[in-house]
Amino acid sequence: MKRFEPQKEDILSAGIDIGTSTTKIVISKFSLMNMAGGMHMPRIEIINKEILYRSPIYRTPLLSTTTIDIKAVETLVMKEYELAGIEPNDIQTGAVIITGETATKQNAQEMVHYLSDHAGEFLVATAGPDLEGIIAAKGSGAYEYSKKTGKVIANIDIGGGTANVAVYKSGKLCGTCTLHTGGRLIEFEGNQIKSISSPIKKLIQQWGSTAALKEGDSRDLIVIQKLTDFMAAVIARMLNRNLLESDQPLLLGHEPNWQEDIDAIMFSGGISECIYKYESVSTGTAQYDDIGEMLAASLRESQELSSWQWLKPVETVRATVLGAGTQTTEISGATIHAESHDLPLRNLPVYQIRLGYDLEDGIKSMPEAVQNAMDIYDSQREGQNFALYVTEIPYLGFRDVQALATAILHAMQIKPNKQQPLVIVLESDHAKVLGQTIKVQNPAQSQSIICIDQIQVEHGDYIDIGHLLQTSVVPVVIKTLTFHH
């Protein structure tokens, strides 16, 4: 008698965004369905994403300018879970995102790992500036618009500390860039300047004595307007890939790295909310004493930025949290080999091995590739696990699968901890047969084999692999882990 296979399944996802200025939470429901016919290999896809709950927007709890208040964040998250009518163990996927200047706090890493342990058995992504820009572009609607129109769209997500830019054409990422541009780079208390961020101090120093500005000065100084106008002009030059030497104090990380000319721009983030006013007062939107409104006005009035078509975002201040909660999860193929007692797995670095569509040469390169992976990810041989991402696989017969399994097992013998799960990620549909073959050949029978397919990652990415679902697939979050200092 044929065993019944569930054809449809719902899972809950959480997005938690802990940003420079604000913290917000979104709970979503994903509907999974087998889209292949009865006689075909199962193909499980996410067919619907529904937002179940959006939290109010909270001021991010800090103990000091350098430390996040971890217990206050946890209290806030648990309160919102209760209001949403869910328990932490109801969450099966999603992402915690530490964004903007919050990612530079001393305990940012501790914060994200603490939440991953207390906010449910779910997957944690912490955003460096590039990933933050990518997630925001998906939450704002810029990614989808580029997909529908084929145009080159730049999404500029500006919050309290950074402007994260992601450029898409036809749904493909062209490049990213991040600037020190945001509402909280200068903060006020009453009529006086309370704080000035380090990048702004460098910029003012560069401008010389005619633009002197310091803590305690009046908030009405004309130089503040000059600063926000300058930020808007730098954004325009960055979009044109034409940053000047004088713009460098505002550049965070690499130069703009896309080649395409931009057709249209979209703004998201807290500064976008200052422009579009999507949030009603009743949602609890936090109010700030900083340069956010002035920056928004400078963007609106910028002659340089007016040369592009402005597209209205689907979301403003909630773009990143919605992207985190609804756009970070992928679903593996249904023909995988996964031993559920070792799931979920978190924060596994990925090392790519290209077989070059030549099995014999690919197998010969396997020991050196694994040695390189060890040198990068576990140089002290302390037992840091990693995933092998095997690509450019040629057609495989049964003996070829056996040969590949033998080569992987032999190469992985140099790992110090033989009890760690052996994690293999494939582009092509070979995971079940390869995973089972490795299991049969493996002398360390107590070692778990996790072999998943239909996932595309990049060399140097990190992946989280969630619990095995009823539909025999696993949710996967692909990310870059960056705590920038």
404-457 confidence digits (pLDDT tens): 999 999 998 888 888 889 999 998 888 899 999 999 998 767 788 999 988 887
- Both 53 and 148 in a single domain? no
Are 466 and 474 in contact by the 8 Å Cβ rule? The answer is yes
**Domain annotation covers residue 341:** yes
Q: What is the pTM of this model?
A: 0.75
Q: Residue 297 sits in which domain range? A: 130-315
pLDDT for res 108: 80
Confidence of residue 101 (pLDDT cuts 50, 70, 90): confident
Are 157 and 275 in contact by the 8 Å Cβ rule? The answer is no
Structure confidence by residue, pLDDT tens digits, 235-262: 999 999 999 999 999 999 889 999 999 9
DSSP string, 193-244: EEEE-HHHHHHHHHH-GGG---TTSBTT-HHHHHHHHHHHHHHHHHHTT---
Question: Which residue type is seen at 153?
Answer: I
Tell which residue, 126, 172, 124, has the closest CA to residue 329.
124
**Whether residue 224 has pLDDT greater than 60:** yes
Tell which residue, 468, 435, 423, has the closest CA to residue 331.
468
pLDDT for res 375: 84
Q: Is 137 helix (H, G, I), strand (E, B) or coil?
A: helix
**Domain annotation covers residue 293:** yes
Report the DSSP beta bridge partners of residue 331. Answer: 475
Task: For 209-235, give one letter per residue: b (16+ CB within 10 A) or e.
Answer: eebebeeeeebeeeebebbbbbbbbbb
Are 152 and 146 in contact by the 8 Å Cβ rule? The answer is yes
Listed range (77-91, 177-191, 345-359) with the worst mean pLDDT: 345-359
pLDDT for res 102: 77
**Domain annotation covers residue 1:** no
Are 310 and 264 in contact by the 8 Å Cβ rule? The answer is yes
Question: Which residue type is seen at 187?
Answer: E
- Both 93 and 137 in a single domain? no
**Domain annotation covers residue 102:** yes
pLDDT for res 484: 34
- Both 344 and 430 in a single domain? yes
**Whether residue 181 has pLDDT greater than 90:** yes
Taking the C-alpha atoms of residue 102 and residue 241, their distance in angstroms, rounded to an integer, is 27
- Both 167 and 279 in a single domain? yes
Are 177 and 156 in contact by the 8 Å Cβ rule? The answer is no
- Both 378 and 453 in a single domain? yes
- Both 112 and 163 in a single domain? no
Report the CATH number at residue 42: 3.30.420.40
**Domain annotation covers residue 480:** no
**Whether residue 82 has pLDDT greater than 90:** yes
**How many structural domains does the chain have?**
3
For the record, the structure tokens of 195 come out as 């704080």
- Both 109 and 163 in a single domain? no
Q: What average pLDDT does the structure give for the chain?
A: 85
For the record, the structure tokens of 350 come out as 């990925």
State the residue for tokens 């014999």: 360
pLDDT for res 460: 64
**Whether residue 121 has pLDDT greater than 90:** no
Taking the C-alpha atoms of residue 174 and residue 437, their distance in angstroms, rounded to an integer, is 39
Report the DSSP beta bridge partners of residue 67. Answer: 64
Taking the C-alpha atoms of residue 418 and residue 376, their distance in angstroms, rounded to an integer, is 18
pLDDT for res 341: 84
Confidence of residue 327 (pLDDT cuts 50, 70, 90): low
pLDDT for res 157: 94
Taking the C-alpha atoms of residue 439 and residue 459, their distance in angstroms, rounded to an integer, is 25
- Both 302 and 342 in a single domain? no
CB neighbours of residue 394 within 10 Å: 13
Are 352 and 391 in contact by the 8 Å Cβ rule? The answer is yes
**Whether residue 315 has pLDDT greater than 70:** yes
Listed range (136-145, 168-177, 256-265, 374-383) with the worst mean pLDDT: 374-383
- Give the H/E segment covering residue 473: none
- Give the H/E segment covering residue 201: helix 198-207
**First-to-last C-alpha distance (Å) of the chain:** 59
Could you tell me which residue, 316 or 264, shows the higher pLDDT?
Answer: 264
Confidence of residue 125 (pLDDT cuts 50, 70, 90): low
- Both 392 and 415 in a single domain? yes
The set of residues, in sequence order, having a beta carbon less than 8 Å from that of 415 and lying 6+ positions away, is 374, 378, 383
Are 202 and 227 in contact by the 8 Å Cβ rule? The answer is no
Residue 344: is the preceding peptide bond cis (ω within 30°)?
A: yes
For the record, the structure tokens of 37 come out as 């016919």
**Domain annotation covers residue 383:** yes
Please tell me which of 11-20, 149-158, 190-199 the model is most confident about, judged by mean pLDDT: 149-158
Between CA 364 and CA 371, with CA 365 as vertex, the angle to 5 degrees is 125
Q: Which of 302, 330, 358 is the last residue of a domain?
A: 330
Are 6 and 18 in contact by the 8 Å Cβ rule? The answer is no
**Domain annotation covers residue 482:** no
Please tell me which of 224-238, 308-322, 349-363, 391-405 the model is most confident about, judged by mean pLDDT: 224-238
- Both 304 and 341 in a single domain? no
**Whether residue 128 has pLDDT greater than 90:** no
The set of residues, in sequence order, having a beta carbon less than 8 Å from that of 272 and lying 6+ positions away, is 140, 157, 158, 296, 313, 316, 317, 319
**Whether residue 42 has pLDDT greater than 70:** no
**Whether residue 350 has pLDDT greater than 50:** yes
- Both 356 and 299 in a single domain? no
Tell which residue, 17, 96, 25, 110, has the closest CA to residue 63.
110
**Whether residue 266 has pLDDT greater than 80:** yes
For the record, the structure tokens of 321 come out as 């949290």
**Domain annotation covers residue 483:** no
Are 475 and 11 in contact by the 8 Å Cβ rule? The answer is yes
Taking the C-alpha atoms of residue 18 and residue 111, their distance in angstroms, rounded to an integer, is 10
pLDDT for res 330: 75
Taking the C-alpha atoms of residue 202 and residue 90, their distance in angstroms, rounded to an integer, is 47
pLDDT for res 144: 92
Listed range (132-136, 162-166, 425-429, 454-458) with the worst mean pLDDT: 454-458
Q: What whole-number percentage of the chain has pLDDT above 70? A: 89
Query: HSE-up of 141 (CA within 13 Å, CB side)?
Result: 14
**Whether residue 331 has pLDDT greater than 80:** no
- Both 156 and 287 in a single domain? yes
pLDDT for res 469: 83
Confidence of residue 164 (pLDDT cuts 50, 70, 90): very high
- Pairing type for strands 91-98 and 8-18 reads parallel
Q: What whole-number percentage of the chain has pLDDT above 90? A: 39
